[in-house]
Structure 1
Amino acid sequence: MTPAPTAVRPRIGLDDEHFVPDPRPTLSWRTTGTARDWVQAGAEIEAVRGGTRHTAHVDGDDAVHVAWPFAPLEPREHVRVRVRVRGADGSASEWSEPAEATAALLGPQGWQGRFIGSGSQAPHRLRTEFTVRGRVRRALLRATAFGAYDAQVNGVPVDDAELKPGWTGYQWRLTFDTSDVTALLRPGRNALGIELAGGWYTERFGFRDAARRFYQGAPAASAHLVVEYEDGTTDSVATGDGWRWARGPVVEAGIYQGEAYDARLHESAWAHPGFDDTAWRPAVPVDVPDVRPEPRSAPPVRVTERRSVQRVLTTPSGRTVLDFGQNLVGRVRIVVSGPAGHTVTLRHAEVLEDGEPATRPLRNAAATDRYTLSGEGEEAWEPSWTFHGFRYVEVENWPGALTASSFSACVLHTDMPRTGGFATGHALLQRFHENVVWGMRGNFLSIPTDCPQRDERLGWTGDIQVFAPTAAFLHDCDAFLRSWLRDVVAEQRAAGGIVPMVVPAVIPQVPGLSEPVAAWGDAISVVPDVLYERFGDTGALRECFTAMAWWVDTVAERAGEDLLWEGGVQFGDWLDPDAPPDLPGRAKTDAGIVATAYFFRSAELTSRAAALLGRDADARRYADLAERIAEAFRSAYITPGGRMMSDAPTAYALAIVFGLAPAERRAAMGLRLRDLVRAYGYRIATGFVGTPLVCEALAGTGHTAAASRLLTRTECPSWLYPVTMGATTVWERWDSMLEDGSINPGQMTSFNHYALGGVADWLHRRVAGLTPAGPGYRRIRVAPTLLDDLDDAAAWHDTPYGRAYSGWRRSGGTVDFRVEVPPNTRAAVRLPSGAEYDVGSGEHHWTERHPRPRRTRAPLSLDSDLVTVIDDPEAYEAVLAAIRSLDPERAAAFRATTRWTPGRTLRNPLDKAPLGVLEAVEKALADLPVGDLAES
């Protein structure tokens, strides 16, 4: 008998938030069960609206982003949806648990509340009272602010969201929140209170002395409460006349500077009815941008975790510092007792330097919170209007004995479900992947930021462009990135087709507002494509297609007739490790190669999007343009022998991965890339653009061993070097911290940047082998890549259809493979032997023989070829250790400057070394075993 499947509660819209912004939200559901090869033959959808049942039927296997099959939702309408499915095998499910949603839509009357405040930039409170005159059926509050706000009804917060309504391009777009406050109302008098701070709206943006306010005017809040009674009547309470304001205990608040709170000024009953507000002043209308608020379309920021102090340190200078053991983003909660007027200060830092909190990388950001005690017994407090990136917190002026239990760290980020993971027994690589996850969590806070700690925290488009595939695997970020893309489209419209390097575009003086910049502006084509590939979301392509085409047309105008994008301002392969600390754009790869490759990539993606959207003429136009760009690229930058005009790893990686390498020269280009990676000692030689691609390009051209060596290297620069230095997030620079524990001397150094962690996508897709072969993983490609330096690797991902898994594990010369395929999907499996299988849902196992390559060693000496030495990890380490034992500085220089190319002997880079060093190296090599080597 065929086991019956189970239909899982459907999703209404793009996330699991209750209030949906779309009158026709898409519907998605999963099916669970034990039947192998289960495929949906159809589904029945039931919607209950206003007590009336409506049904619709879906034929076939569509179960993700299914078009809304009913009449559009009306403003404030509540709907309950459930599904049941039937399988092609004749099986059928019961009805799923229902999902409920309410339409967070504005009616034809538009936004109701006026924008009010104190008229000053200082944080303050707003309040009003109103009467509930009967039995309440439902009460919904809509609220927003130019600034950051929180709302209370009768002294109770209306939700658990933070820093509402989040950051958007305020001059173009403002979102509002909807909250169900029915349970908070009582018969008779009630109070509605709003706390208001400047948030991003009043922040100063820019670098060092150039920092300026971008948005003008005082913060302002607006709210509209609709109370529906059981008798069918309604009452409205909106911001406007009758509201009053007063300063509260929040004395100062800034995203970068931190928060100061004076508990002596707190009035606990300020948001309760009957509070005496005669000393408060009438609220005033505030001039704000002429923007119609729209429903919030992404999950809000929330506190998602609380972490305890791991160590209490006393620094060499006598400071008290808390170590939370993890570089995180959020704030610190304290529990304290002491006299009234006593002020505790908290200063935040990511790392220690010489045993002291390192604040230089914060630049102009004070990242400091202050709490002044009320003196009324035990007091608990955490800031509400700021966030910090930190692992260490210096505590100053703590009253009495300090104990670790008085502090906890509150982790803040946009509340996206975790959807993917990677596991390996290689401890350093596992920690690196955890660092990638923490970096994403900290930098997905309202918008995708570059860093969370210094005076920046901006939506750099290049960062998310390279990281979007990794992000889409790790967290359900579809709604989050869809929301941000709306700001990208708005900013591009304002810039006349140019996609700014920063969105929201709050730093007019940076490049990328007057001229397009490759790899940054290309976020408008890459990110929507990722959302389609990973989530099956054609809506992102539909909303962004005009912007994608406009971007490509804008670049085409700049490139000119030869289609080589070589002019203007470019960042190129940003943060190439060979670039000077204060010139991070001075890369080995020519900026024109980077720009033209991305020009091709965006044209290709725009053509693909046009075809998916049924825009056939556009599809042909951009496909033709992409082919002409490819020919121009090949003619200008690739020699007949397969050499790039910029003979650097990033140039080859771009050409190979983007499909610009001619088929007849691809093997030669892959071999040259291998040789270059080896020449740099298998240490990183790529920057911002090349880093996510280099392992893919190596393995894709048959040089998996080189990719494995590059991945697992621990010398600087490498992915694992920061891990060996204690990093718990991904750094901005390969050497943000130098080997002696000092901080990179450059002006720009962060210890939490996710961009260089984009290689995690390769770990998921290629090493573990879990790749979408159809939109939203409707079809899956499983093709694991065995790495000589790993004993195992596995990845799991909660696809829109259910959990998929691919993993492998060595045991001697045997490798076991396990694959899980979710119901209603199929997977094309290709094992390392070349064996191929087409499988349906369920768990699958295979075993193959794959002994590690047999290793032999001939006697080595100073006359051995450099390639022979670098390709023998034990020999290389022996040489380096021998030099270091006598002359550490010479060892460091040897490691940094030697180019490991064939035809040269080890004696060559040591030609000026003292005789003692040469003798030590000869002895170290002579002591190595020769012949057949046992597997290490």
Structure 2
Amino acid sequence: MTDSTLIVNDIRCEYRDNPIGIDEQRPRFSWKLAGDGRNIMQSAYHIKVHEECSGAHVWDSGKRMSDASVLVEYDGEALKPQTVYIVGIKIWDNAGRESEWTASTFETGLLRPAERWTAEWISGDDGTDEASCDYLRTTFRVQSAVRRARLYATACGMYEMYLNGTRVGDSYFTPGWTNYKKRIQYQTYDVTALLRQGGNGLGGVVGDGWYRGELGWKDQKDFYGEQRALSALLHIWYEDGTEGVVSTDGSWSRSKGPIRTSSIYHGEVYDARLELGDWSDPDYEAEGWLPVWPVEAQNDRLVAQVNEPVRKTGELSPVSLIETPEGDQVLDFGQNMVGWVRLRVSGAKAGNVITLHHAEVLDREGNFYTDNLRSAKQENRYICKGGVEEVFEPHFTFQGFRYVRVTGYPGDIELSQFTAIVLHSDMEQAGMFECSDPMLNQLQSNIIWGQKGNFVDVPTDCPQRDERLGWTGDAQVFIRTAAYNMNVAPFFAKWLQDLSSEQLPHGGVPFVIPNVLGVDQHSSAAWGDAATVCPWTIYQMYGDKRMLAQQYGSMKAWVGYIRAQGDTEALWNTGFHFGDWLGLDAKEGSYIGATPQDLIATAFYAYSTELLVKSAEVLGYEEDAAEYRALYETIVQAFRDEFVTVNGRLAGPFQTAYVLALQFGLLEEEHRPRAIRELVKLIEDNKGCMTTGFVGTPYLCLALSDNGRSDWAYNLVLNKQYPSWLYSIEQGATTIWEHWDGIKPDGTFWSKDMNSYNHYAYGSVGEWLFRKAAGIDGDPEAPGFKRIVIAPELDARLTYVKASYASPYGEIRSQWRLEEDGQLTVNVTIPMNTTASILLPGAQPDSVLPEWQAQQASGGMQLEIGSGSYSWTYAYPIKESTGEGEVLAAQ
């Protein structure tokens, strides 16, 4: 008998809610449990899948005794292309309750697009006006009632589709940036509601985008091809059971239009005087339109989109209008962000040119500053048609900015006429962090905004200058923080497929993915290790074993590449490395920190090999696991022989060296206490500040906390002096900077050549905020937070910390509050179908009721719990930081 107090909700297929265009033959389903009571575990599930149209059943799992509720693989008949399926799920719990059925849907895409893509590839790009975007159109008729219609579209370039005068979908920058030489994504759109009885018009606009626009700082263009192209397939299913297809072919016509130029780096020029009217309506008089050009088909490269597309995710109004000392009129939106500005103007004359120029900061005199953009213009120009209210938004570009200089605007500038549109890959928010320190809350906000601005289809290093590339090192150091903040599994699924496709025959990994720097730019330690770190992190955060399996060949190839590099099999002491990039202990004139590069390279060699061993064990590759376990042990011993003295001192007094040795487990256990003492001393000797760069910083606070020195992790996180995370906030930062001193105390700049103010790598400290300050972590042996670890690290300088994380099983919450009288309250919420280990910090045996059967543990009392919400209050021995250590104040 069913029980209404036990509910199945939030059914997902391949991480998505009721998705369309799924090209997985064996898609995976996830769901969450809801209901009354504590300690609830699923004991069994039952899944049924049937076709929506015919009602034909394709899978009935029967009642399966299992607690699996995340990424459960379809195991039925072969799925049909372009078909809607209904998924029904019910579950039983450990209290004997049975849920009602809950239903969801998913729809397959073409499944084998290379075989089923019947549309031709066409172009309006004849080479005579390369800068202008192409407008392409056709007409067709709908003769009877439509049951369902889907548009499948892709391009060489960026495209937007229009049907009967309406823009199709809410995605931007499609088809997305991939390794176009091997992979071009197609998108699926539900256009049923846009069709009309009788005549219809279908069209597309195509711009250069990443395909043939400027990429990198080498002034290179046409990297993937010299001709823009569009290919689209409109499939209509009628109520009477018949079907119809409209596709791009030689009957389409082409024209140029108002988008005169469109460049990711330089912006867009839009001439409203050249607008084409209702050009995608069926009754449009296409006078002067010309036949399209045929283009070689790219069908063998087509893949369905797996990640969430870029969408508009928010709007910001300007907070002020500034007149600079140089006389510019500048809008301040109060937040460094990525997207564009929507402009409204009335009363303009035809031919008036309004220019919007974008920047991140003002200089110390308060003037508009763009030197750090290098060659990127970040400039949108709108040429008015006059006589009416006009509204402009760009199409195939984006800007990184807080400030916008406005020139040519007719009349007085009114703030209400300008709106900043936030654009990024539309990942669901997963985490929330808040504490009693407003500056730490601002730090978390800066991390979030940095992730938004740099997760624009690929994980870019910066979103404003002439770069915006998918640097592998930045991605791997930030990925765990990214996953705490947002659901990034589909985002990295797409990007890692490109990484595999770009990997060189010998296993080397390019510095950037997609790779536009050339085949000779590859394989730095800590950068190429994205091949191992990212798949393993996704497995840990989401329990995604399939992604681990798909990337295993890439992981193995990367370790194989390193294995062939060094003077010996166990050391990596050759080749170019970025080292501890931007480390503050670098020599004058160098960007590379002082930690020896071969030490860093060998440390990451060990780390990647360890992750490969763990992956082989998870996937059941026993021979590989044994082989690489032996290799790992050899590397660790070689590291000790080469870089560690017999008494445990590392080769060179460098913070990053000790951080990596501690965090990657490269030291003998007897040497760890000395290593943490040496690390703390190095920090103390540097006036309580870090010297670490891109390699050491992400692990610094974790290494301190994991080795009993959370006091020093807090000292670093709460420090407001340069160099520190809060220093930039003191200078007004609203995103993470590339350099600790991007703006110096006197208002001058670190440099103009490489000085991004939205560069998320140092935001990797967000992982420490969630895992240590709030204490939300997962058990590595039960990935995807099937088993949860709550172990907050406290500091008396904060009175409370609260955080939540939307795990695959449901929301995890952790909150602690420390009162002035020394009473500590710890609140946690554990989702159904999971268990948790809780460490109550500072608790004594008499602090916890006997019913909890708590065990004494290092740092407090440990207890095991199941799902539900819990609260404990007890006396806590306050540790008051002195900035140089800690003093125990008994309560």
TM-score, length-normalised on structure 1?
0.89
State the partner residue of 1:893.
none
Structure 1 residue aligned with 2:408:
397
Matched, 1:253 2:262: yes
TM-aligned CA deviation for residue 665 of structure 1: 0.5
Mapping 1:257-336, distance limit 5 Å = 257-287=266-296, 291-336=300-345
Q: Equivalent residue for 1:785?
A: 793
1:546-601 Cα offsets, whole Å, 9 max, x none, are 1100110110000242521111000111110233685212x121111111010011
1:380 aligns with 2:391: yes
Same amino acid, percent of matched pairs: 39
Following superposition of structure 1 onto structure 2, how do residues 479-878 of structure 1 map, counting pairs within 5 Å? Answer: 479-492=490-503, 494-508=504-518, 511-512=521-522, 516-579=523-586, 583-585=590-592, 587-745=593-751, 747-773=753-779, 774-812=782-820, 813-833=822-842, 834-853=860-879, 871=884
Q: Aligned-pair distance for 1:441?
A: 0.7
- Cα distance in 2, alignment partners of residues 278 and 313 from structure 1: 46
Following superposition, the deviation at residue 169 of structure 1 comes to 0.7
2:560 partner letter: D
Contact 1:855 / 1:933 at 8 angstroms: preserved in 2?
Answer: no
SS in 2 for 1:481: helix
Q: Distance in 2 between matches of 1:855 and 1:169?
A: 50
Are residues 170 and 582 of structure 1, via their aligned partners in 2, closer, same or farther at CA, if it must alter by over 3 Å?
Answer: farther
Q: Write the distance in 2 (CA, Å) between the matches of 1:720 and 1:311.
A: 25
Deviation for aligned residue 1:815: 1.4
1:881 maps to none
Q: What is the identity, as a one-letter code, of the residue corresponding to 1:199?
A: G
C-alpha offsets along residues 12-51 of structure 1, whole Å, 9 cap, x if unaligned?
1132343322121100000112310000001122223132
RMSD: 2.0
CA distance 1:293–1:562, change in 2 (3 Å): closer
Residue 934 of structure 1, CA deviation: 11
- Determine if contact 2:114/2:299 at 8 Å carries over to the other structure: no
- Partners of 2:113 and 2:371 in 1: how far apart? 50
Q: Out of 822-831 and 694-703, give the one that drifted further.
A: 694-703
Cα displacement (A) at 1:706? 1.5
1:138, distance to aligned residue in structure 2 (A): 1.6
Deviation at 1:509, TM superposition (A): 7.6
Structure 1 residues 684 and 330: alpha-carbon distance in aligned structure 2, compared to 1, 3 A threshold: same
- Say if 2:22 and 2:106, in contact at 8 Å, map to a contact too: no
Structure 2 residue 437 is the aligned partner of structure 1 residue 426:
yes
Alpha-carbon distance in structure 2 between the residues aligned to 1:742 and 1:292: 48
Q: 2:589 and 2:103 mapped to 1: Cα distance?
A: 57
Encode CA deviations 1:479-530: one digit per residue, 9 max, x unaligned: 11000000000000x4531111101000128731xxx210000001000001
Query: Does structure 1 residue 219 correspond to structure 2 residue 228?
Result: yes
2:78 aligned with 1:86: no
**Aligned-pair CA distance for 1:105:** 2.5
The offset of 1:92, in angstroms, is 2.1
1:164 aligned partner: 174
Q: 2: CA distance between counterparts of 1:290 and 1:93? A: 45
Measured in 2, the distance between the counterparts of 1:660 and 1:777 equals 27
The correspondence for 2:252, drawn from 233, 243, 249, is 243
User: Tell me, what secondary structure is at the counterpart of 1:485?
Assistant: helix
Q: Structure 1 residues 581, 296: CA separation in 2 closer, same or farther (over 3 Å shift)?
A: farther
d(CA) in 2 for partners of 1:305, 1:676: 44
Counterpart for residue 189 of structure 1: 199
Describe the superposition over 1:868-914 as per-residue Cα deviations: whole angstroms up to 9, x where unpaired. xx7399xxxxxxxxxxxxxxxxxxxxxxxxxxxxxxxxxxxxxxxxx
**SS of equivalent to 2:579:** coil
Judged with a 3 Å threshold, the aligned counterparts in structure 2 of structure 1 residues 115 and 630 are, in CA distance, closer, same or farther, namely: same
Kindly tell me: are residues 689 and 855 of structure 1, through their superposed partners in 2, closer, same or farther at Cα, counting changes over 3 Å?
A: closer
Give the distance between the partners of 1:110 and 1:198, measured in 2 at CA: 26
Asked if 2 retains the 8 angstrom alpha-carbon contact of 1:144 and 1:177, the reply is: yes
Query: Structure 1's 934 and 639: CA in aligned 2 closer, same or farther, altered over 3 A?
Result: closer
Contact 2:138 2:203 in 1 (8 A): yes
Partner of 1:887: none
**Whole-Å separation in 2 of the counterparts to 1:365 and 1:104:** 39
Structure 1 residues without counterparts, runs of 5 or longer: 857-869, 874-931
Distance 1:243 1:477, change over 3 A: same
**Structure 1 residues 378 and 808: alpha-carbon distance in aligned structure 2, compared to 1, 3 A threshold:** same
Counterpart residue identity of residue 29, structure 2: L
CA contact (8 A) 1:132 1:189 kept: yes
Residue 205 of structure 1: aligned partner? 215
**Aligned partner letter, 1:536:** G
Secondary structure of the residue that 1:670 maps to in structure 2?
helix
Query: Is this contact kept in 2: 1:143–1:223, CA < 8 A?
Result: yes
Structure 1 residue 744 displacement after superposition: 1.1
Aligned to 2:366: 355
* Distance in 2 between residues matched to 1:746 and 1:132, nearest whole Å: 58
Instruction: Note the C-alpha offset of 1:746.
Output: 5.2
Alignment correspondent of 2:451 = 440
Alpha-carbon distance change, 415 to 933 in structure 1, aligned in 2, over 3 angstroms: closer
User: 1:237: Cα distance to partner?
Assistant: 1.4
Provide the rounded CA distance (Å) in 2 between the counterparts of 1:674 and 1:2.
57
Deviation of 1:288 after TM superposition, in Å, equals: 6.6
* Secondary structure, counterpart of 2:697 in structure 1: coil
Q: How far has the Cα of 1:287 moved from its partner?
A: 4.1
Matched position secondary structure for 1:323:
strand
Q: What is the deviation of 1:789?
A: 2.7
Asked if 2 retains the 8 angstrom alpha-carbon contact of 1:171 and 1:289, the reply is no
Relative to 1, partners in 2 of residues 1:933 and 1:160: Cα closer, same or farther, differing over 3 Å?
closer
Q: Please give the alpha-carbon distance, in whole angstroms, between the structure 2 residues aligned to 1:511 and 1:147.
A: 24
* Alpha carbons 1:582, 1:746 under 8 Å: kept: no
Distance 1:224 1:824 in 2: 43
Give the counterpart letter for 1:219 in structure 2. Answer: R
CA-to-aligned-CA distance 1:177-232 (integer Å, 9 cap, x gap): 0112121111222111001101011122232x554542221111101111222232
Residue 469 of structure 1: CA displacement? 0.5
Question: 1:179 is matched with which residue?
Answer: 189
1:855, 1:527 → 2: CA distance?
35
In structure 2, the residue corresponding to 1:201 is in which secondary structure?
helix
Question: Which amino acid is the alignment partner of residue 281 of structure 2?
Answer: H
Q: Secondary structure at the match of 2:139?
A: strand
**What corresponds to 1:859 in structure 2?**
none
Q: Which of 220, 239, 242 matches 1:230?
A: 239
Residue 808 of structure 1 aligns with an amino acid whose one-letter code is W
Give the TM-score taking structure 2 as reference length: 0.94
Residue 540 of structure 1, CA deviation: 1.2
SS in 2 for 1:269: coil
Whole-Å Cα distance in 2 between the matches of residues 556 and 100 of structure 1?
44
Greater Cα shift, 612-621 or 4-13: 4-13
CA-to-aligned-CA distance 1:357-408 (integer Å, 9 cap, x gap): 2101100100000001111311111111100000000000111111100000
